Chain A
Amino acid sequence: MTAGNGPTTGPGAAGGRTSWLIRGVEVAGPGQRGSTDLLLAGGTITAIGSGLSDAGAQVLDAVGLIALPGLVDLHTHLREPGREDAETVETGTRAAALGGFTAVHAMANTEPVADTAGVVEQVWRLGRAAGYCDVQPVGAVTVGLAGTRLAELGTMADSAARVRVFSDDGRCVADPLLMRRALEYVKAFDGVIAQHAQDPRLTEGAQLNEGEISGRLGLAGWPAVAEEAIIARDCLLAAHVGSALHVCHVSTAGSAEIIRWAKSKGWPVTAEVTPHHLLLTDELAVGYDPVFKVNPPLRTASDVAELRRALADGTIDCVATDHAPHPVEAKETEWSEAAFGMTGLETALRVVQHAMVNTGLLDWPGVADRMSVRPARIGRLTGHGALLAAGGPANLTLYDPAAPAEPVSTAGASKSRNTPFAGMPLPGRVVATFLRGTPSVLDGKLA
C-alpha cells in the first residue's frame, strides 16, 4: 500500500536514523507473556527478546508498559480540505499519534468531497507531509455524497492514494440498487463499501435515540430500526453479490445481532463500534448539551452492554473513533441546531481500557486485534496491523494501563474541543507511539 511507504519528512520519515531499544515491555499478542526488549532500527523491529543490547541505540525504559501494534483507525474525519477551522490533516494526525495511532482512514465528507482522484491524492499528500501518522483516504461512494451517481471508484483506487475503502459516511447509501452496484463494482480492485447505516426517511429531523429520553426531552426520535433495517438489507446484498461490506459505527443491540447472524452464514461482513458507543448513553442528553449529539445517536445502557459483548466475541471486528471535530460555535447552540459528532482520537484507547479491559471483556492481545490487526485488514492497509515480531514494521504504541485515572482534558492536539469525555476520569496513558521506528510521541508528548 502506498500509504505504508510513509512520509518524506517529519517524525515518520522512512527509516529513522536513530535506533531504539525498548526495555522491559509487555508485548500484547497471543502467546507472548512476560516482559521483553524490542530493538527498532531502520523502520523495522530488528530483534525481540530478553537482554538485548545495542550501544548506539536510544534506550526507553518501558517496564510496566504494554506494547501494542500501532493503532489503526478506520474512521476519522480530518476535515481538510474545506473545514480547516475544525481540523487539519496536521492537527488531526497529531491527535491520532497522541492517541497511539499510526494510521488513520480519512473520511470523504470534506469540502470538496473526496469523490475524485484529485481530492483523495491531495489528502494523501497532506498526510505524508504531516508525518505524524499514515493517512489513508477513504473515497466517496457517490458523487458529492448525493446518493444518486457512483463516483469514479476505480480511478480513486488506481490513484496514488490507492483507495480501497469507499464510504458516503455522514450519509447512507440508501438506494438499494446503487448500494448493490457499489458493492459489486469494487470487487474488481478488492474494495470494501463502508456503509453509514441510516434510513433517511425513518430519521427525518431525528435528534436522539427514540426511547424514554427522547420522549421526555421532546427531541425527535431516532429509532434503532433505522440503522438495523439498512444493515439487514446490506448484509443480504453483500451475500448476494459476494462482496465486502463494512458497517460503520454500529450503535444498537439489534445491529450487533444482525451482524452476528450474517457472519454465522459466512458472509463477507465486518463492523466497527466507536469508543463513545461503548461507554455513553442517551441519558447524557438530559442537559441538552450538544457535545453529546452524535450520529448515530447515543443509545441505551442495554445497547452499550450488547455492543461490548459483540466486540468481545468478535462479532464487531474493531473499534473506530469516528473522530468528528467541530468548532466551538457548532456546539454552543440549541441541541437541534448543533452539529453531530465528537472527537475521539486522543481518548480511544483509554475508553477501550475502561469499557473493555477493566471490565474483563477483552485482554490486551484482544485490544491489539480490535484496534490494529483487524482494522488494518479491513482497510487493506499493508505495513500496519501486524503483531509485533522481529522483521516486522516498527509501528507500535507503548501504553501504561496502570496510570491513575485522570479526568479527560479538553486541551489536546485536535483543533476542536468537542470531547464528550471531558472531565470524566479515564485510566491509562499513551506513553509513546512509533511510526516506522521513529517516535511520533514520547513521554505522552509529541516528539
Chain B
Amino acid sequence: MKRHLISAADLSRGDALLILDTAEELASLADRPIKKLPTLRGRTVVNLFFEDSTRTRISFEAAAKRLSADVINFSAKGSSVAKGESLKDTALTLEAMGADAVVIRHSASGAAHRLAGWVRGSVVNAGDGTHEHPTQALLDAFTIRRRLRATAGRGSGLDGIRVTIVGDVLHSRVARSNVLLLSILGAEVTLAAPPTLLPLAVDTWPCAVSYDLDTELPKSDVVMMLRVQQERMTAAYFPSVREYSRRYGLDAARMARLPDHAIVMHPGPMNRGVEIAAEVADSARSMIVEQVANGVTTRMAVLYLLLGGTEFPAVAS
C-alpha cells in the first residue's frame, strides 16, 4: 500500500481487499467486552478538520483510540487557521509535533494532496472539497460485501454487484471515491442524476450513466443516495427541491421497485423528505446506521495498515 490514502485510485484491488479483510477481522472485536487493541500505542494521529464534520471526526477518533493511538483533534474554528494561518504552516506545526498520521477534512479539493507534500507522516483524506472521500467508499464497500456476500465475503470482491449512485455526483466526493473503488472491486456502477449534476466528461468514468432513476431501480442490488444541498437550486442545477425529489428522490413507491435483496445506503447526513423519504431511511433495507458502525472498523483497518502497527492478537480466533 502507498503511504497516504488520498484517492480511492491509490488502492489496487489487492490493497482494497486487504483493507476490507482487515476490517472484517477487527469487526469481531466490536463484540468483545474490551474493544481496545494495543497496536498503535505511542503513535499520534491528528484529526485536522477544517470543515465541520462531527460524524467523520468522531468515527476517526474512535478508530484511532480503539487501536490505542494518541489522538489530537485540531479544529480550524477558533484556531490559528481562523486567524489566517496557511495550510502549509499548519502542516509544519503538526510536523514539528511528530504526527504519525494526519486525518484531514478540508473544503478545498486537493488539500490532502497538498498536505502530503508538507508532512512526513501518513495523510488520510477524510474528504477534500468535491474531490474524494476514500474511507467513505471503503466503508460502503465493506457494508455492501457484508450484506450481499455469503460469510461476509472475506477475500472476495464485489464482482457483478450492481450499484446505482443517485444524485449530485458533480459536487460529491463520496460519489467520486465510490465509482473508483467499487469498479476496482468489480462492481457495476451506474450513476443516476439530472444532467446538470453530472460532470461534463462523466463518459470517461468507469461507470454507466442514466438520467432516469426508475429504469435503474429494478436492476440494482444497491442504491446509494447522495445528499443534495439546497443551495444547488439557486445555481439552477434543478428548478426546485420538490421537483428534484419527485424525479430523483427515493420514496416508498420507488423502493418497492427494487429487487427483494437490494439495500439502500446514504453517506449522511440525510435530508429526509428530499433525496430519501423517512420510511425508506427507517426501513429494513436501510444500511444507514450499519454504515456508521462499519465506518469505525474500516477506518481502524486503514490506520492500522498505513501505520504498520504491530500484529494484533488473533482476534479472528
Q: Which residues of A contact B (CB under 8 A)?
A: 204, 207, 210-212, 214-221, 223, 287-288, 329, 332-337
Contacts and interface: CB of A to CB of B under 8 A. Distances in A.
Contact of B88 (A217, A218, A332): A332
B167 to A, nearest CB: 15
A204 B236 CA distance: 13
B109 A218 contact: yes
Nearest to A210: B200
Contacts of B106: 334
27 contacts: A204-B235, A212-B201, A214-B200, A214-B201, A215-B200, A215-B202, A215-B205, A217-B109, A218-B109, A218-B128, A218-B130, A219-B109, A219-B129, A219-B130, A219-B131, A221-B199, A223-B200, A288-B110, A288-B113, A329-B86, A332-B88, A333-B86, A333-B87, A333-B88, A336-B109, A336-B110, A337-B87
- Residue of A214, A215, A221, A335 with most chain B CB atoms under a 10 A cut-off: A215
B270 to A, nearest CB: 22
B152 interface: no
B200 A335 contact: no
Using C-beta atoms within 8 Å of the partner chain, give the interface range for chain B: 20 to 34
Contact of B109 (A204, A210, A288): A288
Nearest to B50: A334
Interface string B177-214: 00000000000000000000001111011000000000
Contacts of B272: none
A218 B129 contact: yes
B2 interface: no
B86 A218 contact: no
A337 B108 contact: yes
B173 interface: yes
Interface string B102-118: 00001011110110000
Contacts of B129: 218-219, 336
Nearest to B198: A215
A393 to B, nearest CB: 47
Contact of A334 (B110, B176, B202): B110
Contacts of A334: 87, 106, 108, 110-111, 114
Nearest to A337: B108
A337 to B, nearest CB: 6
A62 B235 CA distance: 61
B110 A335 contact: yes
B24 interface: no
A336 B176 CA distance: 19
B21 interface: no
B17 to A, nearest CB: 24
B132 interface: yes
Contacts of A204: 235
B204 A332 contact: no
Contacts of B205: 215
Interface of B: 86-88, 106, 108-111, 113-114, 128-132, 173, 176, 199-202, 204-205, 235
- Residue of B88, B114, B130 with most chain A CB atoms under a 10 A cut-off: B114
A210 B198 CA distance: 12
- Residue of B88, B106, B176, B199 with most chain A CB atoms under a 10 A cut-off: B199
B3 to A, nearest CB: 16
Contacts, number: 66
A336 B108 contact: yes
A210 B113 CA distance: 20
Contacts of A335: 108-110, 114
Contact of B200 (A221, A287, A332, A333): A221
A218 B200 contact: no
Contacts of B87: 333-334, 337
A217 B201 contact: no
Contacts of B204: 212, 215
Nearest to B176: A218
Given A332-B88, A334-B87, A336-B129, A219 B199 contact: no
Nearest to B199: A215
Contacts of B110: 217-219, 288, 334-336
Contacts of A337: 87, 108
Contacts of A211: 200-201
B49 to A, nearest CB: 15
B201 A215 contact: yes
Nearest to B169: A215
B205 to A, nearest CB: 8
Contacts of B128: 218
The list of the 3 closest CB pairs from A to B, nearest first, reads: A288-B110, A215-B199, A218-B131
Contacts of B88: 332-333
Contacts of A221: 199-200
A220 B109 CA distance: 9
Contacts of B113: 287-288
Given A334-B108, A335-B109, A335-B114, 7 more contacts: A214-B199, A218-B110, A218-B129, A218-B173, A219-B109, A334-B106, A335-B110
A301 to B, nearest CB: 14
Contacts of B109: 207, 217-219, 288, 335-336
A404 B200 CA distance: 42
B265 to A, nearest CB: 21
B289 to A, nearest CB: 28
Given A211-B201, A218-B129, A221-B200, A332 B86 contact: yes
A218 B201 contact: no
Nearest to B118: A332
Given A334-B108, A335-B108, A218 B132 contact: yes
Contact of A288 (B114, B199, B200): B114
Given A212-B204, A288-B114, A333-B88, A217 B108 contact: no
A271 to B, nearest CB: 25
A336 B130 CA distance: 11
A217 B86 contact: no
B262 to A, nearest CB: 28
A27 to B, nearest CB: 47
A287 B109 CA distance: 11
Contacts of B86: 329, 332-333
A281 to B, nearest CB: 14
A210 B176 CA distance: 16
